[in-house]
Amino acid sequence: MVPDDDSVRLLIHELGELDYSLLYQAYSAKGRNPAVDPKTMFEILTYAYSQNIYSSRKIETVCKRDINFM
């Protein structure tokens, strides 16, 4: 369980108030839907960068193992 005062909770709260309409407009309506919701991907990348994790392979690993990324 993630503690109530953990930084990931603050980040998700703050990111939840953003307007993601431009982000969604960047995705084409043609073709397949993205495998991961763009908002979720943005939240994952923002949290990873805040934890000094920049490698896509490392982000993939922590998404599988770290409860804060789940």
pLDDT single digits (tens) 3-60: 888 899 999 999 999 999 999 998 877 888 888 999 999 999 999 999 999 999 999 9
Helix axes 56-65, 38-50, angle to 10 degrees: 100
Residue type for 9, please?
R
Q: Total structural domains in the chain?
A: 1
Residues 59 and 65: beta-carbon distance below 8 Å: no
Q: Is residue 61 assigned to a domain? A: yes
Name residue, tokens 């993601």.
20
Looking at the domain assignment, is residue 7 inside a domain?
no
Residue 63 lies in a domain: yes
In a domain, 44, yes or no: yes
pTM for the model stands at 0.85
**Structure tokens belonging to residue 50:** 């805040």
Structural domain boundaries enclosing 42: 36-70
Does a structural domain hold residue 46? Answer: yes
